[in-house]
Amino acid sequence: MRFGFEKLAQDGAARAGVIHTPRGEIRTPAFMPVGTAATVKAMMPESVRATGADILLGNTYHLMLRPGAERIDRLGGLHRFMNWERPILTDSGGFQVMSLAGLRKLTEQGVTFKSHIDGSKHELTPERSMEIQRLLGSDIVMCFDECPALPASDKAVAESMRLSMRWAARSKDAFGDRPGHALFGIMQGGVTPELREESAEALKAIGFDGYAVGGLAVGEGQEAMFGVLDYATGFLPEDRPRYLMGVGKPDDIVGAVKRGIDMMDCVLPSRSGRTGQVFTRHGVVNIKNARHQDDPRPLDEACGCPACRNYSRAYLHHVFRSQEIISSMLLTWHNLHYFQVIMAEMRAAISEGRFSAWEAAFHAARAEGDIEPL
C-alpha cells in the first residue's frame, strides 16, 4: 500500500482529509504529540492513542544520540521499540542541532556538532539524516534542512534557504523509492514572500509526498506567522498534505488550519502538563494557583478525559504541589485530549461547511475565561 493524501472537504482555505499509510489512516487536520525520546512523556502509548492521536512525532537528533539509530534498528525499529504501531513522523535533526547541540560547524556538506549529552562528536548530512530515519522506520521522513537563527538579514535567510533546497534534492536522492513511506520537503524563506515562493518552486520541481512550512514558530510572533501562512500555503500543491512544524498554542493551531494547514506538532500540551499549565475551552488554567485547593469541580465539566471525569481541581492542585508523578500523567492526558478535541471539532466543522461559526465559538469560549472561584 502506498502513501496518499485525500482531501475530503474544504471550507474557505481550511481543509479536511485523510492521509493513508500502511500503518493506518491519519485524519487531517491532525495534531501530532511529540515523543522526543521514544516516549510521549508521562503517557503510555495506548493512552496517547486514547486521546485521539493518529500519529506521533519522534526526534532524530535525540534518538541518534541516545539510544542510537542502529540500536533501534537492531531492536526492530522505533514502532516496536516504543510500542506504537501507528504512523510516526520523524524530523530531520537539523532544527534541533541548531537549537541544542554545542560547537556546530555548518558546511555545504552538512553539520558537525557535539552532543549536548556527552560532548561526543557527530555529523548530520542529508544522506545521514535519511539513513537514520530509515533505520528508525519512520513513516513520514523529513528533508534535512537548515533554519537560520532569528533575527537574520534577508541575505542570510536567502542563502540559508538555497542551501536547504540543495539539501532537499540530496535528501530526495538518498531517500530513494520506498513504497508506503513518505518524504516531505520543507519550505523556508523567513517572512519574505519572494523567498517563500522561490523555495516552494524549488521543492515542487524536486517533487515530494508532502510539504512542510519551516522556519516559523521560532519567535516571530503569531501575527507574522499568520502573515506568512496567508500567502505561503497558496504556493504549495493542493493535492499534498501541508505540515506546519512546531505549532503551537490552541489559537495558533486554529489560525493555521484556517489558512490551509493539515498537520502540526508541538511539545506544548505535554510539556505544559508537567508544569501545571492546563489548556481548556476557556483558556489557560494554572493548577498550582491556590484558588483550586478547595475546589471539588473538574478542570472542565465538558471534557471526557480521565483527569476531568475522575478528579477534582483540588486533587489535581494537591498532586501538582506534592510533585506526585500522577500530576504529570493526568495533566498531560488532559492537554493532549483537549488538543485532539479541537482537531476533531475542526474536522467536523470543515466537513459541514461551518468552520467560521466554529471558530467564532472557539474564541468566544476563551474570552469568557475560566470558571469563577468558589
Q: Which is nearer to Zn ion, 175 or 362 (CB)?
A: 362
Q: Of 67-75, 112-120, 285-293, 302-310, which segment contacts Zn ion by CB under 5 A?
A: 302-310
* HEC profile of the chain: CCCEEEEEEEECCEEEEEEEECCEEEEECEEEEECCCCCCCCCCHHHHHHCCCCCEEECHHHHHHCCCHHHHHHCCCHHHHHCCCCCEEECCCHHHHHHHCEEEEECCCCEEEECCCCCCEEEECHHHHHHHHHHHCCCEEECCCCCCCCCCCHHHHHHHHHHHHHHHHHHHHHHCCCCCCEEEEEECCCCCHHHHHHHHHHHHHHCCCEEEECCCCCCCCHHHHHHHHHHHHHHCCCCCCEEECCCCCHHHHHHHHHCCCCEEEECHHHHHHHHCEEEECCEEEECCCHHHCCCCCCCCCCCCCHHHHHCCHHHHHHHHHCCCHHHHHHHHHHHHHHHHHHHHHHHHHHHCCCHHHHHHHHHHHHHHCCCCCC
Please, what is the minimum distance in Å from the beta carbon of residue 52 to Zn ion?
12
Min dist CB 364 to Zn ion, Å, is 20
Is residue 294 annotated as a catalytic residue, yes or no? no
Residue (303 or 326) nearer to Zn ion, CB: 303
- Give yes or no for residue 305 binding Zn ion (CB under 5 A): yes
Smallest distance, Zn ion to C-beta of residue 28, A: 23
> Per rule CB under 5 A, is residue 334 in the interface with Zn ion?
yes
In the complex with Zn ion, which residue's Cβ is closer, 256 or 308?
A: 308
Is 134 near Zn ion (CB under 5 A)? no
Nearer to Zn ion, 191 or 303 (CB): 303
Min separation Cβ 21 and Zn ion, Å: 29
Q: Is 284 an interacting residue with respect to Zn ion (CB under 5 A)?
A: no
Q: What minimum distance in Å lies between the beta carbon of 338 and Zn ion?
A: 6
Least distance from Zn ion to the Cβ atom of residue 335, Å: 8
Region 18-77 residues binding Zn ion, contact defined as CB under 5 A: none
C-beta closer to Zn ion: residue 229 or 307: 307
CB of 269 vs Zn ion, minimal distance in Å: 11
Q: Tell me the site size for Zn ion, rule CB under 5 A.
A: 5
Segment contacting Zn ion (CB under 5 A): 23-31, 52-60, 313-321, 328-336?
A: 328-336
258 binds Zn ion (CB under 5 A): no
Residues 306-325 that bind Zn ion (CB under 5 A): 307-308
Of the pair 125, 280, the CB lying nearest Zn ion is at: 280
Stretch that binds Zn ion, among 8-16, 73-81, 281-289, 298-306 (CB under 5 A): 298-306
**Selected catalytic residue, list 91, 145, 252, 262:** 91
Stretch that binds Zn ion, among 40-48, 95-103, 300-308, 351-359 (CB under 5 A): 300-308
Which one, 179 or 304, has the nearer CB to Zn ion?
A: 304
Known catalytic residue: 265? yes
Give the residue among 97, 98, 122, 99 at the shortest CA–CA distance from 112: 122
Q: Should residue 303 be labelled a site residue for Zn ion when binding is judged by CB under 5 A?
A: yes
Instruction: Please identify, among the stretches 27-35, 154-162, 287-295, 334-342, the one whose residues bind Zn ion according to the rule CB under 5 A.
Output: 334-342
Residue 193, preceding bond cis, omega within 30 degrees?
Answer: no
- Which of 209, 265, 300, 370 is catalytic? The answer is 265
Residue 311 CB coordination number (10 Å): 18
CA pair distance 57, 38, nearest whole angstrom? 9
Q: Does 224 bind Zn ion (CB under 5 A)?
A: no
The residue ranges that bind Zn ion (CB under 5 A) are 303, 305, 307-308, 334
What are the residue numbers of the active site?
A: 91, 265
